[in-house]
Structure 1
Amino acid sequence: MFSGTQLAAVLNALPDPAFILTRSGRYMAIFGGIDARYYHDGSHLIGKTIHQVLEAAKASWFQQEIEKALLSQALHIVEYGLAACDVKGLQSDGPAYSLWFEGRIQALDFPVNGEDAVLWVASNITARKELENRLRMLSEIDALSGLLNRRKLMHVLAEHFDTFQRYGTPLAMLIFDIDHFKRVNDEHGHLAGDVVIRTAADVCRSELRSTDAPARLGGDEFVVLMPHTTRDQAAPIAERLRQRIACTLQALGSIGEGATISGGLCEFRPSDGSCEDVLKRGDDALYQAKRAGRNRILCTE
């Protein structure tokens, strides 16, 4: 059997810190946290409350998670970020970005200092979160343009279609491609074509609203989703984008000569059976714009 001294030594040898926190949010004890890559000595926290240590919003969140663990009496697992600005007195110290932690919270079956209490074990998972974010970017972002890829576009479009069916929330969609793009590739090579695609994507990022979702559908074809926007409201946005892309492509010199865009603008309709219906209408309008002479946006009726 371990002696009390040996047990304390075992607890203090834990690589991740373990906190004893009361229902009122007071730090009653701290064990472990010897992995100096991620943790500093936290002994100064003992006796303080989370509201004395953390900014109000973050402290309230911790308080809520303690309550949840006490209520369930089962292991409660959470993930959370902590930045220097979340800790009182550390606004100018520590990393400006958030470090990410997994909290494993278990209610204790005995009171501490007359209060219900939990054991909160915090593990630094920042590296894992960064890897998850990189993998998410690879699965959702088009490598050439930096816009949403087709897979993510269809997911977002389906979500908006569900919202439209439930609540009637409008969404306008612009689908466009680059006029004479084949000529750019044939005369100047595929690297020049890549420049044209990236340039059009850059204009989308700079000209569209923060709520809009531009995506590269494939090749030189792009889609812009404009949530909470009717087709009529979207028309001047689409026209401004057309003009701005044409102007920016012309500024590239010979590789952008004659490179404009043609597009189709449409919106969800009550008669739509799926989000593919709106894509088809937009695509049809795009090809009507091509047949009408290019360098224009046509709206579906």
Structure 2
Amino acid sequence: MTNHLDILLDMLSALPDPVFVLTESGRYAALIGGKDRQHYHDGAHLVDFSLYDVLPKAKADWFLEQIKITLEQNQLRIVEYGLAGADVDGLDTQQGPEGEIWFEGRVQPLATPVNNERAVVWVACNITRRHQLEAKLQLLSETDELTGAYNRRKLLDALTLSLASFRERQTPVAVVLMDVDHFKTINDRFGHIAGDEVLRGIAHHAMAHLREGDLFARFGGEEFALLLPNTALDVANVIAERLRQAIASGNFLPESHPPLVVTASMGLSLIQPQDQAIETILRRVDNALYRAKNSGRNCLVVDG
């Protein structure tokens, strides 16, 4: 006669996703399922170890925090997180997926204590493909199709966050608006395809020289914007001026075209303590850009 307990254990061990029992102190009490080595590593050795025995402290802190929140709320919680096999001490990384894996964790309190501790059951589902698709779609929604730079929407979102950060921490944030000089003349003389090449060339040139954390966006038409977090006015001035000079000395059309000198006018300003909305910042930078155009173009005007 078939033993129903054996059937139940076989069913649990055959679960496609790994199911962990984790105690309130962060100890692995049990692990079942997750046998598919295309999607998961073998974590059987984790049982009886603490999160802090096998994970970097920052990651262990995060997992322990999720356990405690779940126990406090006493309800199912769903979290997403990235974890690579190399992050977990003792895993055989040859028998499992490479690189960082993205998981959806379904964390549910257990009614019965485990080893005299409150505990949760944590089901980890591999959502790497979904995460990659979402990241790709997010990038597409934030990217200008022609130039590959960020688009106006992304810039406005980033500027909104920068304003909030400035009001909280008072770290300097610089904003630059840049307009390609006489762009209509370029289109009229060389055609719109050549004009597109100029815009692409400027964007690729600018993005290649950005620092980590800087953001370059196509603001609209032949106008671009540069957001420089944690950047004092004198440093922002140097960065913008260097870019302006690089554009003036660059060659943005194929050799089949006649030589073309491309220049840009720029306006620069910092976020100010009195700024309550990003429209105020953009208006001030736009005024500086307008003054640059009225000063003969191919120059940088700094507001404040």
TM-score range for the pair, normalised by the shorter chain length: 0.7 to 0.9
Provide closer, same or farther for how the CA distance between residues 52 and 221 of structure 1 changes in structure 2, counting only shifts above 3 A: same
Worse overlay, 219-228 or 273-282: 273-282
- 2:48 maps to a residue whose letter is G
SS at match of 1:203: helix
In the alignment, what sits opposite 2:111?
109
Q: How far off is 1:80 after superposition?
A: 1.1
8 Å Cα contact 2:147/2:199 also seen in 1: yes
In the alignment, what sits opposite 1:132?
134
In the alignment, what sits opposite 1:213?
215
User: Partners in 2 of 1:147 and 1:54 — Cα distance?
Assistant: 37
In the alignment, what sits opposite 2:19?
18
User: Partners in 2 of 1:287 and 1:272 — Cα distance?
Assistant: 20
1:20-57 deviation line (CA, Å, top 9, x unaligned): 22334333322222445312444343333333433333
8 Å Cα contact 1:85/1:96 also seen in 2: no
- 1:111 maps to a residue whose letter is P
In the alignment, what sits opposite 1:200?
202
Alignment equivalent of 1:300, drawn from 293, 297, 303: 303
Alignment equivalent of 1:286, drawn from 269, 289, 296: 289
> What TM-score results when the alignment is normalised by the length of structure 2?
0.85
Worse overlay, 146-155 or 160-169: 160-169
In the alignment, what sits opposite 2:57?
56
8 Å Cα contact 2:202/2:252 also seen in 1: no
Alignment of 1:34-45 (within 5 A): 34-45=35-46
Q: How far off is 1:272 after superposition?
A: 4.4
- 1:289 maps to a residue whose letter is A
1:64-121 deviation line (CA, Å, top 9, x unaligned): 3223333333223221111132122459746553111111122222222333322111
> What TM-score results when the alignment is normalised by the length of structure 1?
0.86
Q: How far off is 1:295 after superposition?
A: 1.3
Worse overlay, 256-265 or 214-223: 256-265
Q: How far off is 1:176 after superposition?
A: 0.9
In the alignment, what sits opposite 2:246?
244
User: Partners in 1 of 2:275 and 2:25 — Cα distance?
Assistant: 53
| Percent of residue pairs bearing the same amino acid type | 47
2:273 equivalent to 1:267: no
User: Partners in 2 of 1:49 and 1:270 — Cα distance?
Assistant: 47
User: Partners in 2 of 1:232 and 1:41 — Cα distance?
Assistant: 54
Provide closer, same or farther for how the CA distance between residues 273 and 109 of structure 1 changes in structure 2, counting only shifts above 3 A: closer
SS at match of 1:112: coil
8 Å Cα contact 1:179/1:258 also seen in 2: no
User: Partners in 1 of 2:276 and 2:28 — Cα distance?
Assistant: 56
Q: How far off is 1:214 after superposition?
A: 1.5
- 1:56 maps to a residue whose letter is K
* Count, aligned residues: 300
**CA RMSD, aligned part only?**
2.8
Provide closer, same or farther for how the CA distance between residues 49 and 173 of structure 1 changes in structure 2, counting only shifts above 3 A: closer
Alignment of 1:45-194 (within 5 A): 45-89=46-90, 93=94, 97-165=99-167, 168-194=170-196
SS at match of 1:249: coil
Provide closer, same or farther for how the CA distance between residues 265 and 58 of structure 1 changes in structure 2, counting only shifts above 3 A: closer
Worse overlay, 162-171 or 232-241: 162-171
8 Å Cα contact 2:41/2:97 also seen in 1: no
SS at match of 1:263: strand
In structure 1, runs of 5+ residues without a counterpart are: none
User: Partners in 2 of 1:271 and 1:65 — Cα distance?
Assistant: 39
